Structure 1
Amino acid sequence: MKPEKKQILIFGGTTEGRRLAESMCAAGFFCTVSVATQYGEQVMEEMPALTLHRGRMDAGQMEEFIKKGRFFAVVDATHPFAVEVSENIRKSLSGMSLPYIRLKRDTGIEETEGKNLRWFRDMESCGEALQETTGNVLLTTGSKDLSAFSKEELRKRLYVRVLPNEESIALCEKQGICGKQIIAMQGPFSTEMNEAIIRQFHISYLVTKESGNTGGFYEKVKAAGNAGIPVMVIGNPEKEEQGFSYEEAAEEIYRLAGEKPESPKLMVSLIGIGMGAEGLLTLEAKEKIQRADVIFGAQRLLEEVGEEKEKYPYYLAADIIPRLADMVEKEDRYKPCIKAAVLFSGDTGFYSGASKLYEELKKETKEKRLRADVEMLSGISSMSYLAAKARMNWQDAAVISLHGRKANIMETVRREKKTFVLVSGLEDMKYLGELFSGEEWNGLRITAGYRLSYPEEEIMVLTPSMCGSLEKEGLYCCFIVNERTAAQKVSHGLKDASFLRGSTPMTKEEVREISICKLALEKNSVLYDVGSGTGSVSVECARLSDEIQVYAIESDREAVELLGKNSDLFGLTNIEVIEAQAPEGMGPLPAPTHAFIGGSGGKMIEILKVLYEKNPFLRVVINVITLETLGEITDLLKEFPVKEEDIVQVQISRAKKAGPYHLMQAENPIYIISFNFLEGLTENENT
């Protein structure tokens, strides 16, 4: 356990200070970071265990601030040139027993040896030397020490690069530096950016502090060397003083807290990178890849990204997870996390291996074999890419994958005007050509994409026979367009004449449609059609969704035969005919979610009791003709707990022609009763 609510106090808005704060917060420590300026506050990332304090303090104010806190260590991570601030921190701690850790910046100059560097002990001596020169000066030492370069002749030649905040700009203006002389930009700056500024402002001398790699020192020296100008360097004033490196400071904090560091946490990004060419990467994906410590993916994907990264040609969980575990075991123990990017072609949510890897990583985390946070980043799918290249839309396309799987593609193409197909390669394209070679498929158009996004990319419009003549191996995908599909209705509403009937009673068309609406079926409902007659209700309900299962319960032999014929007439496989009396025939069936009762054979109370036992939340719709049956049912409903009870009378009249006239002929009124069972029937109520 970390000391309860006890914190580390870190002074300084430097890169080293931010890195240490992020590491310690990630490790579970509480950190208070004290920064002098608003800019120092802005560049700190928000973290749950982090508290920020903004404002400059003298030694007395620091002492008061420290005494109010519950700190077990104080880290001085201020800039190496902030000598006065470091001195104030040490003074504030002089009467306390709190440990002081000076986090030093590595400002080694090995990489700059042999360059045109001129060294100075302080700003003043550098300013005096520049007064003896001619030409423009790029000052990259910040805004606080401008007074050392404020003499009028030199000031006119200065171009000052400072942080983009009001305080820095105000200090420049106070010293008479304004307008185009102020370059307000936030680093870090690349060699190329430094060179561009040198060229733009015709710089003859570049002035910098010996600030090390995190301060962009080497990029400045290299840019000046490329431009052929000298670099005036103010040496690090604390270079010879004792201090802690980042690793040493982290180790000391753990020692003081009586803790041992945990293994690094994994931050895994599963990234869809489009077809493979780097130009299809999203900006978010580029950033994650750039920040990754290691990258995984198929070899063809790795070739396009992360030139200087550690890379492994793995895309299966069985290969990736052991490698990640090995990295956690061997990584720097003070590193808070290891960032891994796993690349997948196309989009992570479109027939991608990303989902399986995500589940495996979550399983490893749940079972505490790894500590991993996993995210998915979308990419451009082959379907959207091909649609754009072929100048067609894809929102109305059915989607099928033949990539390592089987699918009933012929039925899909038969009923859909447009079908997108993912294929494994040339062999699958030839298979499509054979599959659609019959006369039924005349006029079929196949828009195929080959090696999408690569230089060899081809977009082709083919007939089935042309698919058979393709020769190039590689990745394909295609849209199949069938203009000859029949229009499909999206609601129930069959005419009575659509059914085979004979002498068996049938729920008439208008009553049937109202009753089905009252059922309020869902996509995967289980429906009992009790006393189903010709099966008109069963057929219409079964046609609403392939996932609806209908049990048509009927005892009359002629009606049972008609049920089977009507089911076959519409090619339905989700109707099961039960030749039995109700409720006896319902016993072995799965529990229903809905029931329609068109005929009860005088056993309404028995049927309702069995239905309630099977599902005390069942949705029920009943059709009755006689007032006696209506009265019986309304009395029965008093014995069951129900809700949403509804009774409507439907009177249908049909027009009959009488010579040149139309006369309305009334049919028997029908009562449609609907309700939901409500769990709560008692034993006494069930007798």
Structure 2
Amino acid sequence: MDRLIVFGGTTEGRELCQKCLEQLNNVVIHVFVATEQGKEVLPKDGKLVVHTGRLTSMEMADIIGTLSPDMVVDATHPYATEVTENIVKACALSNAKYVRLLREKADIKKGFIAEDPLKVVKLVNRSRGNVLLTTGSKDLPAYTGIYNFKERVYARILPDTNNINWAINMGYAKDHIIAEEGPFSYERNVEEIKKYNIKYLITKESGKAGGFDEKQRACKDANCVLIVIPRPEEDGYSATEVWEMVQEEYTKKTIHIIGVGMGNPKNMTVEAVEAVEDCQVLIGANRLVDAVNKGRKDIYYEYKAEKIKEFIDTTDYQHYGIIFSGDVCLFSGATVLLDLLDGYKVKVIQGISSVAYLASRIGVPWAGCRVVSAHGRNVDIVREVAENEGIFVLTGGNVKQICQTLTENGLGMVKICAGEKLSYPREKITAGYVKDFVSKEFDPITVLYMCNENYGISTEFGLSDDMFFRGEIPMTKSEVRSVILSKMQLRNSDIVYDIGSGTGSVTVECGRLAPKGMVYSVECNEDAFELTGKNIEHFELKNVRQILGRGKEVVADLPKPDSVFIGGSKGELEDVMEQIINKGVNIRFVVSAITLETLTNTLMFMKTKGFKNTEVVQVSVSKGNFVGNSTMMTAQNPIFIVSGDWEE
């Protein structure tokens, strides 16, 4: 059920509640009033929950957070400024939608205006005559300043024992206390003015709902002076406008994104169960919908986000329930759907994730563990397992493939637990070593936990040349590659270009250093392109895209990079760099040059365009060769490495 919170037992608040009960379905109204008297005048209905008592802003925030209403309407008295301040603060703390319902202003035709009780006191002390206070009990202390107040002042207050005793303790005469509850008619006001020989009637600008018109007419006809305390200025909406806002909020389509855990209804949260009950139609995969439906709801079997959106757009249900397994914020299809549902009222109800469930079943505190998904996603599983002591893996039925890859890369002795059909009667948890799982069969719905006691984050670069397939294509040697990579200053999620990939040694190293980014490896020589592909496959990199072609012909279609390495450009260096800098700013460039001409062209381009932090380094490497019992140093060609930043 949707929830609406209304603060205030005022006439406007009561009328709003009555309209909601009569015209809105599936809405529970929580009304907050200060006194039992306020509670008694409210409608009696099962969908109206009344809360009595005064609250602090923090208490309000806690309640609003617990109830999670779609809207909070402040229908409190215009002069209850402190209460309004608390409601505004509470809504801000709990991120709730706040709407102020303003009472219609009074039409003051004749009388005096006094901004506050102290000015009222000064006004009535100028002459003699009895005074009728109709401003409530809160300001009674201020009116004790009226000359001879015990004899002159009559206080009309609510028939509450505490209020009456409080007034008596302040010195008000017991027979001058009119303990009555409104509304007060014109006739009743005239009667009291005459009965107590009232010369001054003090009232707040309470508007039509507060009986102001009846007081004003009574004063005029009974020859009594009306003194009005004007209401504070504030922003808000009329009763009609608020009702229109409530109607719009509570009659538009509501989409419930419901996480139901692993699939067994026993693992659903109470909130998820209630959400399913409130929905008119359930949407999702057969297994999940059938598990929670029990034949009572309309159903639409679908898990593709675009088709779900189309169904919602073209049908007339008010409450839709879209069922997802596990935690809807953890590698869930709900993420894509949420983007598509912009403009609808969407409520997200969390479920228990299979990761948390498996962790509890095997007694592992998962707060410090890495969580990755290999279900329809590219993940460098070797790197992830190698660099983390504890890791959970959401699989897509590819457990054997994952374990095979890990075993081939020296991680076969990592401890592993596999949870199959978690939460179901046929739940199965198997423990062992990764290498033992290569020959086993597993259910498609399987979650893995691995504990790598020998984990460690690898910052290695400058891999040995012997680790690469080389062929006849010249390779950027390990030592030179190390300098290039240090100049590239790669980050975890960078977009990288390697233009002129050659054997792919720089491509591979970039892919390893930016595992959450993407490397675009460009090569126009078919043999070199094929060799790069072999090395990418050898290192099992999922974040590299190969492109066959010349640099200036292909970079136009690529996304803006964070870092660019140009190792070969077929004499088109300036054209390639020009296209790249046109994509945007904050791009790091590193260029390797063997010839002085390439070096000169690079430096001139960077200087002309205004690159920052330009630097040129010459690297001369000699490697030792063993000749008998001696070591002979063999010099390699010197390399110029130019780096610079294209910035704003």
TM-score w.r.t. structure 1 length?
0.47
TM-score w.r.t. structure 2 length?
0.49
